[in-house]
């Protein structure tokens, strides 16, 4: 029974990440503006996030849909969801009424619902990472359980952790910069000179 639930979770997470990533790729300008609305990162980091996140989401979604490197892809999904949730919580605690940028397309304001949805998705992704099954996977076609060929999961997980670590470092550096600027009474965001 658990394997069917985890399989369902795998496909839900795959669908959500594919939809989110493809929508953002279709309208990168809107997603870029949504990223900039979160006062967490400087312009260069916002551009990097705008370019990187949609491709990561599509890659994670494809890996989960196909059942390739499932544990690593689910781990990457968990890391991304943790980062997204931290950004949303930051916006909520600051009282910002901004678009979450979650699925591109029509604006969706950040809310408690966004946090609850991300928590549910994070629970599903963590379950897939811990209890993954090879049912309905492309990987099961070429790797038998007794195969001596190593699974690509460790490489995918290492890459995902490295990317998550870099993004986490960027976010924490910007959060530190922002909190320091706020303590010193300086403008924290980008300023616009008006002549």
Residue 59: the pLDDT is 93
- Could you read off the pLDDT of 105-158 as tens digits, one per residue? 677 889 889 999 999 999 999 888 888 766 556 656 555 554 434 455 555 555
Q: Which of 24-28, 82-86, 89-93, 159-163 has the lowest mean pLDDT?
A: 159-163
- Size of the chain, expressed as the number of residues it contains: 195
Q: What pTM was estimated for this model as a whole?
A: 0.71
- To the nearest 10 degrees (0 to 180), the angle between helices 2-26 and 70-93 is 60
Residue 68: the pLDDT is 84
Query: 70: domain range?
Result: 2-136+151-184
Domain membership flag for residue 194: no
HSE of 157, CA atoms in CB hemisphere, 13 A: 12
The dihedral built from the CA positions of residue 154, 159, 160 and 166, taken in this order, carries a sign that is positive
Question: Is residue 12's pLDDT more than 50?
Answer: yes
HSE of 172, CA atoms in CB hemisphere, 13 A: 6
Distance of CA 120 to the CA centre of its chain: 14
Domain membership flag for residue 144: no
- Could you read off the pLDDT of 19-49 as tens digits, one per residue? 999 999 998 899 999 999 988 888 888 999 9
Contact criterion met (CB below 8 Å) for 172 and 79: no
Q: How far apart are the first and last CA of the chain?
A: 67
Question: Is residue 188's pLDDT more than 60?
Answer: no
Residue 193: the pLDDT is 44
HSE of 180, CA atoms in CB hemisphere, 13 A: 6
- Could you read off the pLDDT of 41-87 as tens digits, one per residue? 888 889 999 999 999 999 999 999 888 888 889 999 999 999 999 99
Decide: helix, strand or coil at residue 109: strand
Question: Is residue 162's pLDDT more than 60?
Answer: no
Domain membership flag for residue 127: yes
Task: Name the maximum alpha-carbon separation found in the chain.
Answer: 71
Domain membership flag for residue 146: no
Domain membership flag for residue 142: no
Residue 149: the pLDDT is 44
Residue 190: the pLDDT is 46
Rounded to whole angstroms, how far apart are CA atoms 118 and 65? 19
Contact criterion met (CB below 8 Å) for 81 and 121: yes
Question: Is residue 189's pLDDT more than 60?
Answer: no
Question: In the chain, how many domains are there?
Answer: 1
pLDDT range class, residue 95, cuts 50, 70, 90: confident
Domain membership flag for residue 89: yes
Domain membership flag for residue 145: no
Domain membership flag for residue 42: yes
């Amino acid at each position: 029974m658990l394997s069917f639930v985890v399989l369902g979770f795998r496909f839900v997470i795959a669908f959500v990440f594919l939809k989110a990533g493809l929508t953002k790729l279709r309208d990168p300008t809107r997603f870029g503006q949504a990223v900039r609305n979160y006062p967490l990162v400087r312009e260069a980091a916002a551009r990097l996030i705008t370019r990187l996140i949609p491709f990561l989401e599509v890659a994670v979604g494809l890996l989960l849909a196909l059942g390739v490197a499932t544990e690593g892809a689910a781990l990457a999904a968990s890391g991304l969801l943790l980062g997204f949730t931290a950004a949303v919580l930051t916006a909520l605690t600051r009282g910002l009424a901004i678009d979450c940028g979650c699925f591109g397309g029509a604006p969706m304001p950040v809310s408690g619902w966004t946090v609850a949805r991300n928590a549910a998705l994070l629970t599903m992704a963590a379950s897939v990472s811990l209890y993954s099954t090879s049912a309905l996977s492309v990987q099961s076609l070429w790797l038998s359980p007794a195969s001596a060929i190593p699974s690509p999961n460790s490489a995918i997980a290492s890459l995902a952790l490295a990317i998550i670590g870099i993004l986490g470092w960027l976010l924490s550096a910007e959060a530190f910069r922002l909190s320091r600027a706020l303590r010193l009474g300086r403008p924290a965001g980008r300023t616009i000179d008006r002549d």
